[in-house]
């Protein structure tokens, strides 16, 4: 099982604003703040950002992304809107998608450094 995930960011201040908005739309808040690291979560830090000022932007072709399970399509829409309002870019608008075994409502964004983040809600069969 996955306990937490982390992403590298070039500017902690810029990314903190982005993730406070995007993750805040999902009920997560900033729980831990250290000089070059911030942890977000609902009860414990499950999503971390780590400042890496010298890192290059993450190329779109990496194929890596983090999917965050949410309860409702409305949360997906709030996440997407907040992410775009705070410096993210659209990488898949909110909408219904068919995965291998389930119907979902999902949206994809790129954070200011190019990390691909998805919010996904399972739909009833």
pLDDT at residue 46, as a whole number: 97
How many angstroms separate the Cα of 89 from the Cα of each of 2, 34, 37, 101, 111? 26, 27, 23, 28, 7
5-52+66-122 belongs to CATH 3.10.180.10: yes
Output the six-digit token pair for 110: 């790129």
Pick the closest to residue 28 from 51, 5, 50, 8 (CA basis): 5
Q: Looking at the predicted structure, is the pLDDT value of residue 15 above 80?
A: yes
- pLDDT at position 51: 98
Whether 63 shows a pLDDT value over 80: the answer reads no
**Can you say whether residue 114 is alpha, beta or left, with left for phi > 0 and alpha for psi between -120 and 50 degrees?**
left
| pTM (two decimals) | 0.94
| CB of 66 closer than 8 Å to CB of 115 | yes
CA distance 70 to 56: 30
Per-residue pLDDT tens over the stretch 79-116: 999 999 999 999 999 999 998 889 999 999 999 999 99
Residue-range domain boundaries for the chain: 5-52+66-122
What's the pLDDT tens digit per position in 24-54? Answer: 999 999 999 999 999 999 999 999 999 999 9
Other CB atoms within 10 A of residue 70 CB: 22
């Amino acid at each position: 099982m996955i306990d937490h995930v982390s992403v590298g960011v070039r500017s902690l201040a810029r990314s903190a604003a982005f993730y406070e908005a995007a993750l805040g739309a999902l009920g997560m808040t900033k729980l831990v703040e250290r000089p070059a690291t911030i942890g977000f979560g609902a009860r414990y830090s499950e999503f971390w950002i780590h400042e890496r000022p010298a890192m290059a932007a993450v190329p779109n072709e990496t194929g890596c992304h983090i999917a965050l399970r949410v309860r409702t399509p409305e949360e997906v829409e709030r996440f997407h809107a907040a992410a775009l309002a705070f410096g993210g870019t659209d990488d898949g608008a909110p909408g219904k998608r068919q995965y291998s075994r389930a119907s979902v409502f999902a949206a994809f964004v790129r954070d200011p450094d190019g990390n691909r983040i998805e919010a996904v809600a399972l739909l009833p069969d």
